[in-house]
Structure 1
Amino acid sequence: MALPRIADRFSGAIQKTDQEQKITELQAEVERLRATQSPDLEIELQKLREQLQNQSGEVEIDLDLIDPNPNQPRQTITSESIQAKARLLKKHGQISSVILVLQENGRYMLLDGQLRTEGARVLGWKTIRAVVVPMPRDLTQSALITFLGFEDLNPLDKAEAVFKEVTKSTDLTIDEIFTLLGTVLKRIERDGNSKELTHLINVSTEKQQQGLEQLGVIDTEQSLLLALLELGLNPSSVKTNLMPMLFLPQDLKDAIRQRGLKGAHALALATLSAKVLDIKEEQATSERIAATNKVLNENLTVPETRELIKAIKDKYLKNKKSESKEVKAVIQKIKELSEDSLQGASHEQLQQLRTLLEQKLVALSKVLNA
């Protein structure tokens, strides 16, 4: 497969202020390559760095002049990962330069190389080798950050970064996105058009818009799906795998960020809720934390995790039986039996009803006592 020259396309976006480059296609290609774990992706990213170096030249920048990126998608950066990067820098030196943007105040904003920068600080370095580029006028900062920032993000950080971009571009709240996305995807699936939606990921914005219109997706729904497609994301996958990350209990979010819990494991463990187990919230949290520790300490696979969860659920739900439709119907009928209805019945009917109810109450007591 011939890989597109990412460096060339990105360079054109930086240099040509009079020609809008299709950053969305670039992002889609990067996401696709990362999803397939293409070994060619890092080669192309290295070409980008080399091209920027040829244009701007590498320079040594004082670490005290480098500011973090306020819109960095990577919210999780543990001391362990920094120490690991510091060890590599100490052993091998700085292999690749970081990428900085020169700000109006004369300081620099970090676009690529967060771990290298933090590792250098740990080692006590005063400067770091960098390529300095001006902020492209024809690319939004968020698009550039999206392109450079998604690699190796944990699913929680990625979900937060994605929905930060989507809320900004659509003016929808997270709850509105959740409702709208579920509604439009359900309709597309019902109409048998899920494959057609997936095919729109790697086409131009114009074709994405045309394709959505053909699927009957317009107005706010279209804006939402376009925002996801332009990031190279499958809306169905976003709904299933990313959006639930935002609603995880705090203990699972902490486990993802601090201990490296995988997204699939977290989603499975989230089913150990107070509502599902029919217990108090504190007890459910305790069970979930214990299960999470077992998953991480024993490095359980997803199927093994699901077996563990099933055993925990069985412990709490083994004595609980499913609702009887027949009993539910009888309860509803008794609720509907008003005093007026009783007054309108004959004496014989009332006697018969009382006898029947007394018999059923005896049977009910036996079942409950058992």
Structure 2
Amino acid sequence: MPASPSTARAINDRLALGLLQREGPLTANQLKQLTGLSRPSVADLVERLQGSGLIAVVGEAGAQRRGPNARLYGIVADRAHLAALDVRTGGVSVVVTDLLGAVLAEASAPIGGDTGTGAAVERAVALVESTAKDGGVQRLHTVAIGAPGLIDPATGELRDTTSLPAWHRRLAGALQERFPARVLVENETNLAARAEQRDGAAHDRDTFVLLWLGEGVGAAVVLDGSLRRGASGGTGEIGFLPVPGTDVLPSATGCEGGFHSLACAAALRDLGAEHGILEPGASAADVVRRAAETGHGAYLDAAADRIAVGAAAMAAILDPGCVVLGGEIGRAGGDPLATRVAERVAAMSPLRTEVRASVLGGSAVLRGALLAARDSAQDELFGPRP
């Protein structure tokens, strides 16, 4: 059945807006060529989008050209402003952007474990307010939060877990009360996977696993282009995976004894001390980076032995074809660590699995939150994707 005129217009509008976002400002003639629409249809489309405040004339194409055919149309970037948050156990980072993702302001603030829940929430909300003000933003359209923990697939809310600070769960509600904005919450590893697929190590994959290596460990699973969450939102909670080499089994209330105990930041940092490469004040990422840069094969071999246990488990169950070592540690290890993990996975599994180092590292969470905020805002303003 052919689309109704209104549906066809909506599809064409979204197609043109997508081109303007990807390609930058375009003339009406360029839109005609790229969309395949007739000249009158493009003229109507341009008039419609200008009238809605979504596009505007931003210049002319070529110094020698003048007149209507030379006008360059671009998306009105300040049509909506966005905020993205990376919430960690020890603090929060914020970035405020326009609708196209141009950064207007960014800031971070520590929030210690001894800070009360109410004070911690207020500190995080105040940081968003001050960052928006620094960026000249009076109203936020969409706010996206990346946080550790399980997201309830039924409610979209961060689930209560005993291991995470209570202020994490209350932050979304507080932001919703303070700002007339849409507030989204997503697991940090899922957001990192979104960013690595859009802009990083998995840019050419529609099926892959991101193995997050940080203070905690986790995984995001993308199959045929879709993020998999599971019945309770727990897909990828690999920290609880029972593994050899630990003294106890993980429990429903804690992942100590699981894969977390082998590959979390504290474990890899302690491994650096065992190999004599831990300097005072160094983080696990610092240790891994130093080992990769100096060619400390013994440490990298030992770290790869541990990380490969989790990577091989994901490969055996999902056959993703690609595992990205994410987070600060995955990026710090680079190709030297990824190559060693790939060799061990190949020895443990008959399923061919490529292992890649993260391109974005720890910044992937904030980048993924920004992408989530931008996609949500554009879907509302531009209309559903065709």
Pick the TM interval, shorter chain: under 0.3
Higher helix proportion (structure 1 or 2)? 1
Higher strand proportion (structure 1 or 2)? 2
TM-score (norm 1): 0.27
TM-score (norm 2): 0.27
The structure with more radius of gyration:
1
